[in-house]
Structure 1
């Protein structure tokens, strides 16, 4: 009787050797040891502030040209203690809030009608495409003539700045919905309203939120110009008064306020994206 023996390939596991098992413990440990992302996000702003302070301390930047970060911080504390910052922020937020409510409402209605209905597109889209090329800031003289120099022209200016980017993104989102999904919904017996609710609007939501982020940026930009129209309160009013007296520290404080409020608004929209688009996994970077 012949017994044949075969040698296992070199490096192959045998009965005496444990089978190597690849685990993710090392990879997980590496991820846990990584530096948090928020630290990297702070590196660039902190480096710019340090460079700015260094240039001011060495005399490269004079206070007449640009106040140092230390001076700006001191001015911000003084304005806060006097109540000027709170009053300015409250006035500006009221204007932006009113303009956003009007602009978002109008944009949603027009984009929905234009995106869902061909007749709506024929009646709405062409005028919107023409008007969006008109500089909103160029409308300030007309707004003053139509609404005076009170709060109305400021709010209307912000609303106009919000309408067009939001309209374009919602309209594009609706029209870019996969036709195959709509046909599948029809095959399953979904009615028109059910198709809009369960297929079209959810698919257009990512574009709508992108448009909202653009609109918020446009709203703050329009506010800067709007508060030059005979404003008696607000961040823009403080900037204009500081310009008259060459107070660069106050101007920088106002600019930082605009930036911080814009970041807060963008953060809120990002939270909405995570909530409303939780069903839609997306690439988050390598």
Structure 2
């Protein structure tokens, strides 16, 4: 095997696996993926029989099975059907709107200049941060769920469709010009098929973000749906029902992922262009990009000044600015933001560190990948907020529960990025290591980690963003005395729209700064790629 680390060590692997070795798996390779689930099940059975933990904290497997028979006869599937209907209509509206908006932005430079900067600025505010505002606008009925879903879905679909249409290969445009195709045929026959891979990538992300956002809003404000059923079970300390719901949510996530992968393979049957051939342009900047936000702010102020909208529902932008500056001056907003950032950093260190080490282990060791990989993949199918009722029952509502939740949010991005970065290393690195007679530690330090650094730092950037989103979610669902999201929830309950919107502005700014910080770290740590 021509691996970077495999020198007489059968349990290690290099960047590419030998095809013959891959095809000739033994019975051991088929058994290993089941070892971890079987051990967990046995430990669960022993713990319940020996009463290591109370049944209210860790229900016995027999109790979970009994709940599956009881609630599976109708009530569970009724709530799940309601959630899936909401997801369907949200995806239909969000994907359709994102496709139209992305196509328009991708084909019109004027639209990119006037609209895109405002759209990207609003997209910096995560969907969770919009929920308190949407609750004041739309109540807690079905319209709230639809609006939250559309907001979560439309952003990735729009941005990926925009990139696909805008960055279509120049040769396609040259061919269209040579054939003198009308504008509508250029769009339908060339640009949209060329943008299909990017569009499907956006839809894949929209599926994940939409399902997660739906569960979040059902946990916060709903009287039916799979998320509500989990909250109800948690309030009654029926953790058997909570575990059953987590299992169902993971199964739905896996089916969505598998079904979309099958659809994608059927639709994308032609060779894809190399990513390096696509020229990605920056976000347009200039005074024209300020026209739309200026017009929106002016309309917002006018509607408030002339009494077109109740100020208790939509306060004026001047009031929001006054509240923002007042909160900054008296220290309430910086104090809340600092506490939230501390939770983000702690969760990132815990979850990101565990993800990096796990990714190294799975990326370098065949047996570790076969042993732990399938179990981790199954856990990843469970939407993040589905773990909230279980974590609050096990860890309470204190800082420990928040740190665990944020760590869970930051874990998988870095795990996946590290594992894939190591798996994509060139076999030539293994030849160089054998020529230089490098030992195991030298190969890891001089070849593997530098070679996988671009993927690792890309994963770190994603983990940073997910840790920030996890912090907001933790402060929503685990009430505390401080934090920017806790401040928003308190202001929403008091109908203090100015405080809600001031906090939203800060959350969006911090999210944008964290994203920029992650990009700078990635560029600086991997600057040798463009040297």
TM superposition score category, shorter chain reference: 0.7 to 0.9
Structure 1 contact 52–68 (Cα < 8 Å) conserved:
no
Structure 2 contact 458–522 (Cα < 8 Å) conserved:
no
Identify the residue that residue 270 of structure 1 maps to in structure 2. 519
Partner residue of 1:216 out of 464, 485, 497? 464
Partner residue of 2:510 out of 236, 261, 266? 261
Identify the residue that residue 482 of structure 2 maps to in structure 1. 233
Moved more, 140-149 or 210-219: 210-219
Post-superposition offset of 1:49: 3.4
Q: What secondary structure is seen at the aligned counterpart in 2 of 1:58? A: helix
Q: What secondary structure is seen at the aligned counterpart in 1 of 2:285? A: helix
Partner residue of 1:95 out of 343, 346, 353? 343
Name the CA distance, whole Å, in 1 between partners of 2:389 and 2:325: 36
Identify the residue that residue 244 of structure 2 maps to in structure 1. none
Moved more, 114-123 or 52-61: 52-61
Deviations 1:53-101 (A, max 9, x none): 1221331665344333322111101112222112101211111111111
Identify the residue that residue 450 of structure 2 maps to in structure 1. 202
TM-score (norm 1): 0.79
Q: 1:153 to 1:180 in 2, by over 3 A?
A: same
TM-score (norm 2): 0.44
Name the CA distance, whole Å, in 1 between partners of 2:506 and 2:513: 11
Q: 1:85 to 1:280 in 2, by over 3 A?
A: same
Q: 1:47 to 1:220 in 2, by over 3 A?
A: farther
Mapping for residues 144-159 of structure 1, pairs under 5 Å: 144-159=392-407
Structure 1 contact 49–69 (Cα < 8 Å) conserved:
no
Name the CA distance, whole Å, in 1 between partners of 2:353 and 2:465: 17
Partner residue of 2:366 out of 86, 100, 118? 118
Q: 1:193 to 1:91 in 2, by over 3 A?
A: same
Deviations 1:212-240 (A, max 9, x none): 11112211211121002121111011101
The answer to whether residue 296 in structure 2 is matched with residue 52 in structure 1 is yes
Mapping for residues 154-169 of structure 1, pairs under 5 Å: 154-169=402-417
Identify the residue that residue 29 of structure 1 maps to in structure 2. none
Structure 1 contact 56–62 (Cα < 8 Å) conserved:
no
Q: What secondary structure is seen at the aligned counterpart in 2 of 1:279? A: helix
Name the CA distance, whole Å, in 1 between partners of 2:459 and 2:311: 39
Structure 1 contact 140–153 (Cα < 8 Å) conserved:
no
Identify the residue that residue 168 of structure 2 maps to in structure 1. none
Deviations 1:84-120 (A, max 9, x none): 1121012111111111110111011111111111122
The answer to whether residue 289 in structure 2 is matched with residue 40 in structure 1 is no
Structure 2 contact 384–409 (Cα < 8 Å) conserved:
yes
Post-superposition offset of 1:52: 2.5
Deviations 1:234-265 (A, max 9, x none): 10111011111222221111112112212222
Deviations 1:16-42 (A, max 9, x none): xxxxxxxxxxxxxxxxxxxxx899178
Identify the residue that residue 499 of structure 2 maps to in structure 1. 250
Structure 2 contact 406–467 (Cα < 8 Å) conserved:
yes
Q: What secondary structure is seen at the aligned counterpart in 2 of 1:190? A: coil
Name the CA distance, whole Å, in 2 between partners of 1:227 and 1:39: 35
Structure 1 contact 52–69 (Cα < 8 Å) conserved:
no
Q: 1:121 to 1:41 in 2, by over 3 A?
A: farther
Structure 1 contact 89–234 (Cα < 8 Å) conserved:
yes
Name the CA distance, whole Å, in 2 between partners of 1:275 and 1:215: 17
Q: How many residues align?
A: 245
Post-superposition offset of 1:185: 2.4
Structure 1 contact 158–226 (Cα < 8 Å) conserved:
yes
Moved more, 62-71 or 120-129: 62-71
Post-superposition offset of 1:123: 2.2
> Unpaired segments of 5 or more residues in structure 1?
1-36
Identify the residue that residue 319 of structure 2 maps to in structure 1. 71
RMSD between aligned residues: 2.1
Q: 1:151 to 1:260 in 2, by over 3 A?
A: same
Identify the residue that residue 234 of structure 2 maps to in structure 1. none
Name the CA distance, whole Å, in 1 between partners of 2:377 and 2:424: 18
Q: 1:43 to 1:247 in 2, by over 3 A?
A: farther
If you compute each CA radius of gyration, which structure gives the higher value, 1 or 2? 1
